[in-house]
Structure 1
Amino acid sequence: MLVLIIISVLFPIVLAFNSSSMISFLQASNFRDSIYALELARSGIEGAIALIEQDDASYDSEDDKWAILLPMISVGEGVLNVRIEDEDRKINVNQLVKNNTVDRRMERHLRRLIERLGGNPDVVDALIDWIDADNEPTGTGGAEESFYREMGYSCKNGPLEVMDELFLIKGFDKELLVEKGLKDYLTIEPTDGRINVNTAPLEVLLDLHEELREGLCEEIVRKRDEVPFKKLTDVKEVIGFSESLYAKIAPFIKVNSTIFKIESSYSIGRMRKTVTAVVKREGDGVRIVSWRESL
């Protein structure tokens, strides 16, 4: 009987001690994996920057080493995955309003793209109002402080700082940005506003200018897939591309990229760490513009 009493008293104590020890062990293990994963994710960014630095900066295409989807690399007990994409393939929404003046060409570009995706092009009015400094609603779809006050926040009246800021703007809902895919064609990173014709999606090319017909844009894509455009005037070699059309769109296109977004993730067990960096190619080097690490 005495033995049973001792066991009944000691067993819960031992069990509690073992449980506490196991929790401490798991916490220490998770912390170790977290630090390890973060360091390897950071190393992926450094490797990607080296690829960009080694690349010929005079032109950029989907054939470049940085543009080719990198394989998932086994490192230690986990896997490293690195992805690089140039932002010059996209429309820079912050270029829509400069010095409180609307860029009408870019406005038309955005309207055509949104309409092509099945959205209401009048949402561009609200985007203009979000960026410009005045408090006067634009067009039929605009919205200023009085509208956003009812939503519980203020109108920005300045450039966007993160892409998810778009979800705050009147008309820019999940259906348009995600389901219809508009978000994939936009950027808020510091590009110069010109589109790289070697990497731009067909949808962006189609709406670059009202005279760029679908057949001609498809021919541009076919030509660049065969041989990338190495200088801007190479675009004139595309069948159907006239001198007059080239003169109209040349100021808004280019064949190289300067801004790149790098996403590097390392996974080990249940632990996953991601580092996202935006970098700018300048001369012979690459400068980090922004850096974000997952918690």
Structure 2
Amino acid sequence: MRRKQAGIALITAVITAALVAALAAWIAWRQQLWFFQLENQLDQGQARAIAYSGVQLARFTLRDDARNNQVDHLGEPWNVPIPAIPVEQGKVGGRLLEQQGRFNLNNLISNGVASDNDIAACRRLFELAGVPPQRVDALVDWLDADGETRPGGAEDAAYLALPQPYRAANQPLTDLASLVRVQGFDAETIARLTPFVSVLPPQTPINVNFAPPEVIAAIVPELALAEAQAVVSRRAGRHFASVGEFIAALPERVRGQLRPEALTVQSRYFISEVDAQFGRVTVRYAALLERNGPDFPRLLWMRRR
């Protein structure tokens, strides 16, 4: 009997020791996991700080550029992407993307009223991009705040009938990603438009030194895409120093159809894209910058991408 009890006690002791060892291993694993999580959070905070420093560098670059010249074009130093450069325990790189060479979708509404000239140009651009031009109507309804498009208006019916209903914004877009909420703008449509459109504060002119042929053909009525491509080819060798030089490069028959106030050779809006890595963490940010002459550019928004 005593031998049997001794055997049971021995087995109990072995099981207890095994449980204690397993518990100790689990606690050590949890502590190591917590340590890794804490380390990742610290690395992420440092990576965000490095990314913000990259955006700050872009702001200084744009300010200095404005102090040195009044014409923005593809050949400027700031237009060259910065490869990843080493920093303490990490690296950072990025690029500046000029935004006024693209058609600003918020230009469709001017002071609360639909802009017929911009709507016509946007229709031409959509067609050139392979997007049905009728989609412009849905976009105008989304932006417009007149009596027909206020909450409860006719255009809200399509949005209220969705499985997760919502109303039209009736205000300017905030960024290109917000297009997905507009009827008819799916991911494929947005991808087709991305090289040609931007979302900026309303009423920004087109920088003709950055505009692709599709945008030029859209903003110049009756200008064929092939003719716009020829204009861009001329620009490759020497940028336009003024809007007048751009107009002189167009076929004579279309020059009188232009609105010079809708064109420029100087840009105010840029997106700074930054990739930053610190330790095991990599972050990617985009920031919209507004430059007002030689002043330090404003940071309008900064978000993960």
TM-score, normalisation: structure 1: 0.88
Matched with 2:126 is 114
Structure 1 unmatched ranges of 5 or more:
none
Other structure's SS at 2:236 match: helix
1:220 has 2:231 as partner? yes
Find the aligned partners of 1:132 and 1:209 in 2 and give their Cα distance.
Answer: 24
Per the alignment, residue 156 of structure 2 pairs with 145
Contact 2:214–2:225 (CA<8 Å) still a contact in 1?
A: no
The answer to whether the aligner puts 1:165 opposite 2:178 as a matched pair is yes
Paired letter, 2:45: I
Alpha-carbon distance between aligned partners in 1 of 2:257 and 2:98, rounded to the nearest angstrom: 25
Residue pair 2:50, 2:92 contacting (<8 A) in 1 also: yes
Distance 1:120-1:15 versus aligned 2 partners, 3 A rule = same
Structure showing greater Rg: 2
Q: Distance in 1 between matches of 2:111 and 2:203?
A: 15
Residue of structure 2 in register with 1:188 after alignment = 199
Give the superposition deviation at 1:270.
Answer: 4.3
**CA offsets 1:90-145 (integer angstroms, 9 cap, x no match):** 111111112332211111111111112222111111111111123537xxxx9611
- For 1:37 and 1:6, the matched residues in 2 are separated by 46
Rounded to whole Å, the distance in 2 between the matches of 1:182 and 1:51 is 29
Among residues 85, 92, 97, which one is paired with 2:97 in the alignment? 85
Q: Residue 121 of structure 1 aligns to a residue in which SS?
A: coil
**Whole-Å Cα distance in 2 between the matches of residues 281 and 216 of structure 1?**
32
Tell me if structure 1 keeps the 8 A contact 2:209–2:240. yes
In the other structure, the counterpart of 2:246 is 235
1: distance between equivalents of 2:254 and 2:27?
A: 82
C-alpha deviation, 1:77, in angstroms: 3.3
Could you say if the C-alpha distance between residues 126 and 293 of structure 1 is closer, same or farther in structure 2, counting changes exceeding 3 Å?
closer
Matched, 1:256 2:269: no
Inter-partner Cα distance in structure 1 for 2:179 and 2:303: 21
Identity %: 26
Alpha-carbon distance change, 4 to 228 in structure 1, aligned in 2, over 3 angstroms: same
1:211 is aligned with what amino acid? E
- Contact residue 129 and residue 143 of structure 1 kept, 8 A: no
Match of 2:40 among 26, 30, 41: 30
TM-score in terms of structure 2 length: 0.85
The offset of 1:17, in angstroms, is 2.5
Shift of 1:30: 0.6
Unaligned runs of 5+ in 2: 1-9
Give CA deviations for 1:236-279 in whole Å, capped at 9, x if unaligned: 453x5428606624232111101111121212454222333222
Matched letter for residue 60 of structure 2: A
